[in-house]
Amino acid sequence: DTEVTQTPKHLVMGMTNKKSLKCEQHMGHRAMYWYKQKAKKPPELMFVYSYEKLSINESVPSRFSPECPNSSLLNLHLHALQPEDSALYLCASSQDTTDTQYFGPGTRLTVL
């Protein structure tokens, strides 16, 4: 298995909703990442997990809350989002933080 999977593919939520994005990989990678990508822009790093511990938070607002339940799973919990948070959210993983990152297909999030 050489892929990163993400669910759901699309998500529409209101500003008062609570939702979660899920990411899974079975490549034995020990580093996992969340990126945010706006249309026609490069991805922006949000969080880095290394060996299931949060190692980097790129000054992301607290309405985004990451969680790494085990070495194969990465969640992103969403609460009280704003319309400007609408974007493609990409998950990636790598053997460790210096190796090639493999990206998932993304979750297209729309906040109404």
Partner 1 sequence: KNQVEQSPQSLIILEGKNCTLQCNYTVSPFSNLRWYKQDTGRGPVSLTIMTFSENTKSNGRYTATLDADTKQSSLHITASQLSDSASYICVVSFNDYKLSFGAGTTVTVRA
Binding region for partner 1 (CB under 8 A): 4, 6, 31, 33, 41-43, 45, 48, 50, 56, 88, 90-92, 94, 97-98, 100-106, 108
Residue number with CB closer to partner 1 (45 or 80): 45
Place of tokens 């299931």: 52
Measured from the CB atom, the residue of 58 and 112 that comes closer to partner 1 is 58
List, as one string, the DSSP characters of 28-82: --SEEEEEEE-TTS--EEEEEEETTEEEEE-S--TTEEEEEEETTEEEEEEES--
| 8 neighbors 106 (Cβ within 8 angstroms) | no
Minimal distance, residue 42 CB to partner 1, in Å? 3
Pick 15 or 56: Cβ nearer partner 1:
56
